[in-house]
Amino acid sequence: MNFKDMGKMMKQVQKMQEDLAKMQDNLKDMTVEATSGGGVVKVVATGKQEIKLIKINPEAIDPEDVEMLEDLVLSAVNEALRKSQELQSEQMSQITGGIKVPGLF
**Domains in the chain, ordered, with CATH?**
24-95 (3.30.1310.10)
Give the integer Cα–Cα distance in Å for 92 and 22.
11
- Give the pLDDT of residue 93: 85
Q: Residue 98: which region, alpha, beta or left (left: phi > 0; alpha: psi -120 to 50)?
A: left
Q: Please report, in tens digits, the pLDDT of each residue of the chain (105 residues total).
A: 677 888 888 888 888 888 888 988 889 999 999 999 999 999 999 999 999 999 999 999 999 999 999 999 999 999 999 999 999 999 888 887 766 655 554
- Give the pLDDT of residue 101: 58
